[in-house]
Chain A
């Protein structure tokens, strides 16, 4: 047997228990989502549905108020990601290009902000939202408060990833532009930014996924059902209910999970380099 084939067999054999455990929840979601209610709660329990019920996805769409929740998730994630990047790109550029005094302090500050998770500050955040008047009321139950909070908590991760990519973009091209009489700011916009676009796109998507998946802040700050995002909306289907309609809940988690999982699967290779470099350098 050739060595690579042998190695492949061993590798997959060693990975197989992990693959089974990782794919297990996906199988649970899929097969529960496709069962009629009476099969979900019947003995003996079976893995596969006897009767495949695709109608669950339509019932879930209405039952979970899926459409409006999806829209809220998109709005909150998009806006907070845009705000995160608007603040992080210049900062990452400074980190990658200028050996300024206080740079290591700024780095430590980022580590500290990474450390203070939203849940730790959630009481204070709630109070803060309640004290800031906004739109005739206050920031509790407003998307704006959630957006700003997410942006602040995502800055560390974004600066981290961006600056490690930015450092790999050669400085010479910008310097050549300066010699041609281009100002430093213009050179950054005209020469550096186009080269940095792929890195910014990758950071955009990762920040977006972080915001999309966040739970504690939106769970605390958003009160009315019409303002809830997908995550909280689905948790509401299982929390404090006497009977949980698991087939609809699993249909909803599947629909909320698959698009993000596909996006992530496609992008994960960018993480290996960027994250590791950013965290150690």
Chain B
């Protein structure tokens, strides 16, 4: 066996498995999106771009596309904004640090589905503990209908989204902070740099690759995030909380429009590919390995 072939033999099983499980569905969805398909999956004929034009004149799709953008930016941005100070605190040496780290990481361990179920109950307008606690604290004076109103359900879901994305982001940033050499801080202090200057001029630049990675992976996860919205509101009330993944699921498995659902999948795929391509382009060139 030549040594040029050996690594390929080693990666072949993983490559084959991933290519098969991803390749076939992508191919099939491309086929579906170009055909007219009954709700029972029977192909009625070639539809050309009919499914795509159907989607583009669907007002729910437009609102959903915009909402997906808001969802992704708000959750990714929000989790980065609170993860940065959290990582800086957890990187300090203080009593009970490992306990604090464990608590902050905890939402990661609970499945999104379970989190969504618990919050759906906690946000219950009559008997939920969110209203109970906020009333006890005097923040609100009468129960709020969290998930039954279009104006509140989506922001509530964004907050849950931020909470579950935060542990992963903190972990990446903590890994980054532990790789920053400490002697540069000593040198900076000797030069009389303030804490803010040290943060802005030393910490942020050394963390940049980790911040980039956190943004890219979070955008991918959050853009594709299904359970929180599906379990908490199923896209309702009156389609006001749908994002693309929940809408495509509803089209494909509830409303019997699989062709249009496949079209949305492909549109999402294109958005993600464009995003990843942009990211790879922005990366500094890797060594020619």
* Interface residues in chain A, defined as those with a beta carbon under 8 Å from any beta carbon in chain B: 4-5, 7-8, 11-12, 14-15, 18-19, 21-25, 27-29, 31-32, 40-43, 45-47, 83, 86-88, 90-91, 93-95, 97-104, 106, 108-109, 111-117, 119-125, 127-128, 130, 148-149, 151-153, 155-156, 159, 209, 212-216, 220, 231, 234-235, 238-239, 246, 249-250, 253, 256-257, 260-261, 263-265, 268-269, 271-273, 275-277, 279-280
Contact = CB atoms under 8 A, between A and B. Distances in A.
B95 A8 contact: yes
B268 interface: yes
B286 to A, nearest CB: 5
10 contacts: A8-B94, A86-B13, A90-B14, A103-B7, A123-B25, A213-B113, A215-B226, A249-B121, A250-B118, A250-B121
Given A14-B85, A115-B220, A213 B175 contact: no
Interface of B is mostly: helix
B18 A155 contact: yes
Contact of B17 (A5, A125, A148): A148
B105 A123 contact: no
B289 interface: yes
A148 B227 CA distance: 21
Interface centre among B13, B21, B261, B262 (most CB of A within 10 A): B21
What 7 pairs across the A-B complex have the smallest Cβ distances? A276-B175, A124-B25, A213-B111, A264-B109, A152-B21, A117-B224, A94-B10
B171 interface: yes
A90 to B, nearest CB: 4
Interface of A is mostly: helix
B84 interface: no
Q: For chain B, give the interface size range.
A: 35 or more
Contact of B32 (A104, A123, A277, A279): A123
Contact of B105 (A100, A119, A265): A265
Given A29-B118, A235-B113, 9 more contacts: A18-B104, A28-B118, A94-B8, A97-B7, A120-B272, A123-B265, A127-B28, A235-B117, A261-B106
Contact of B289 (A7, A41, A94, A99): A99
Contact of A87 (B13, B104, B226): B13
B196 to A, nearest CB: 17
Given A116-B269, A121-B26, A98 B6 contact: yes
A123 B29 contact: yes
